[in-house]
Structure 1
Amino acid sequence: MRKFAIGAVLSGALAAAAVAVPSAHADTVVGDTKVSNVVVNGGKDVAVGTTNKVTFKVTFTASDPAGVTSGQTYLYHGTWSDPDAFWTQDSDAGTTCTSGTTVTCTSTYTIVPEYDLHYNALAGTWHIGAYAKAKDGDSAKKTDVGTFHVQRYSKLTVNASPEPVAKGKAITVAGKLSRANWEDHLYHGYTGQPVKLQFRKAGSSTYSTVKTVNSDSSGNLRTTVTASADGYWRYYFAGTSTTPAAKATGDYLDVK
């Protein structure tokens, strides 16, 4: 696999690929080669933590009456002419195409957060480009055929107390919403975010939202509710463009 980054986003071995810096005149089509249907990670966003390697695929359709020989994909943050980060793979090192006049090309990317992500500002919208070369020398390059999100992985905890508790008494449900920080590779509280407190009655398979609680300046969550029945309490965060959704494992509370 080969990667290249603009600026100082990647370092070490992963920044060593000899890929040309994007030009302002990016889209080029020679002949009747076409690229379309670019999909990143099966249509899902890419969430990256602090130490875990994340592998995902990028696929696209390429066509030419003479047949397609190779393909390439581009992922970049910012603009094509002046990207903050730029990842690509060539056909010999990470992109494979099926045979024929209309083919599917697939690139495999592996993100290592310690090397590939050093700035939290890189979370959010990324752009996608694709290139295909035909057997007769024709080619097509499209540099902004879609977008996806690279997100800072999130975690959510919950604890309902006291337990057991008498029916009709108050209980406190505490927790914390945190997310990956790519600059120090630790998890920190995600502040000022609306998080749903949900309850699932014992014997049921469905959670219902009881109220919404905002995380404080440290990402902590805390609220008081009335105990009415045995069941599970959890917090649920819907996510943002920079941070994926998260849900805590339900905490069972015995109500006497």
Structure 2
Amino acid sequence: MRIRALVVAATGAVALSALAVPAAQAAPAAPAGPAVTFSNMKINGGKNIVVGPTSKVTVSATYTVTKPAALKASSFITGPGLYRGATVDPDSNQKILSGDNEGTCTAVAGSSTVLKCKATIQLRPKPNDVNEQLTNADAGTWKIAAIAVDTTTFGFTTQGNLGTTKVQRQSKLTTDATPEPVKKGKTITVTGKLSRANWDTYKFAGYSTQPVKLQFKKTGATAWSTVKTIKTSSTGALKTTVKASADGYFRYVFAGTTTTPAVNSAADFIDVK
């Protein structure tokens, strides 16, 4: 069950109980959450999270929970989440990217207070839970949080600022060098396209006005050399010309941005006569 679902149940229960209290009395306070703290949170092994235009992506999370010795591990559940803003607040309309299931925790040998935990987070471009569906505006940096929920009272404890990660729109890059074969000294035209996942339309779309390097590697060489840098068109298209000098391979290389990962195209061989 999603952690958010438990929080909604908890806050809903508090709201219903408040309605039953006479107006002259104070509304009941929300139940306190487990007295735990989180540390050592790592999402996706510390790597950026890259999501395509349609498919769900599941990433791993590992973290440490420290609890009072008297608090039973079986009395609460935990899970990680990604959020934006100054604080994390599941009891609101704040967008939180979380997991379909709670984390699993194991006691550290010889300790009554430390648990080592693991969980997963699911990211979806296509509709599922409206509050957690990715849109293009979601690409970029997210803060990392964790939550613990008391399984009896549904009181919850949150802790934010456990690190950051980037959620990025998957990129693709192509290269096509023509004509082939070509005479030495003649003009080679190298075309291509830089595109990235569009989470609003569930397709790939051109990434405009981005600097992309054209690189060449002579047959038998081990290293690539940069020939020039050009920018993509308004549709993500690439086109430039070079003089044929020797047999070898051309490729385009994109360094990436905060919202879009770096990508190299496949190499395209050119036969120079």
Displacement of 1:118 after TM fit?
Answer: 4.6
Q: State the TM-score, normalizing by the size of structure 2.
A: 0.76
More helix by share: 2
Partner amino acid, structure 1, of 2:244:
A
Cα distance between partner residues in 2 of 1:29 and 1:201: 63
Which residue identity is paired with 2:219?
A
Larger radius of gyration: 2
Kept in 2, the 8 Å contact 1:77–1:83? The answer is: no
Relative distance call for 1:61 and 1:232 in structure 2 (3 A) is same
1:46 paired to 2:49? yes
SS in structure 1 of the partner of residue 7 of structure 2: coil
Alignment gaps of 5+ in structure 2? 12-31, 151-155
CA–CA distance in structure 2, aligned partners of residues 204 and 245 of structure 1: 23
Structure having the higher strand fraction is 1
* Residue of structure 2 equivalent to 1:72: 79
Cα separation, 2, equivalents of 1:39 and 1:149: 12
Q: Give the secondary-structure state (helix, strand or coil) at the position aligned to 1:108.
A: strand
TM-score, length-normalised on structure 1?
0.80
Deviation at 1:169, TM superposition (A): 1.8
Corresponding residue SS for 2:45: helix
Q: Unpaired segments of 5 or more residues in structure 1?
A: 5-16
CA root-mean-square deviation = 2.9
Distance apart, 1:94 and its partner CA: 3.1
Query: Does the Cα contact within 8 Å between 2:54 and 2:202 map onto a contact in 1?
Result: yes
User: Which residue type is aligned with residue 240 of structure 2?
Assistant: T
SS at match of 1:36: strand
Q: Measured at CA, do residues 83 and 245 of structure 1 come closer, stay the same or move farther in structure 2, by a change above 3 Å?
A: farther
Q: Could you tell me how far apart the structure 1 residues matched to 2:34 and 2:60 are?
A: 27
Q: Is the 8 A contact 1:68 1:133 kept in 2?
A: no
Counterparts of 2:139 and 2:173 in 1: how far apart (Å)?
A: 19
Q: Separation in 2 of the partners of 1:44 and 1:87?
A: 16
1:140-167: CA deviation from partner (whole Å, max 9, x where unpaired): 6421211111111111111001111112
SS at match of 2:137: helix
SS at match of 1:183: coil
SS at match of 2:42: strand
Query: d(CA) in 2 for partners of 1:114 and 1:89?
Result: 16
**Does the CA-based 8 Å contact 2:105-2:115 persist in structure 1?**
yes
Aligned CA distance change for structure 1 residues 3 and 29 (closer, same or farther; 3 Å): closer
Q: Which residue of 2 aligns with 1:95?
A: 103
For this pair of structures, how many residues does the alignment match? 234
1:13 is matched with none
Q: Aligned pair 1:240/2:228, yes or no?
A: no
Identity %: 47
**Contact 1:61–1:102 (CA under 8 A) maintained in structure 2:** yes
Give the aligned partner of residue 204 of structure 1.
Answer: 221
Q: How does 1:222-237 map to 2 (within 5 A)?
A: 222-237=239-254
State whether structure 2 residue 165 is matched by structure 1 residue 165.
no
Residues 1:85 and 2:85 aligned together? no
- CA 153–68 in structure 1, closer or farther in 2 if over 3 Å, else same: farther
Give SS of 1:98's match. Answer: strand
Is residue 62–residue 132 contact of structure 1 (8 Å, CA) maintained in 2? no
Q: How does 1:57-206 map to 2 (within 5 A)?
A: 57-64=60-67, 66=69, 69=73, 70-79=77-86, 80-81=88-89, 84-89=94-99, 93-100=101-108, 101-115=113-127, 116-131=132-147, 141-206=158-223
- Cα distance between partner residues in 2 of 1:244 and 1:102: 36
Question: Matched residues in 1 for 2:213 and 2:38: separation?
Answer: 42
C-alpha separation between the residues in 2 aligned to 1:97 and 1:189?
Answer: 43
Matched residue SS, 2:84 = strand
Write the distance in 1 (CA, Å) between the matches of 2:229 and 2:256: 14
Q: Distance in 2 between matches of 1:30 and 1:2?
A: 17
| Cα separation, partners in 2 of 1:89 and 1:220, compared to 1, 3 Å | closer
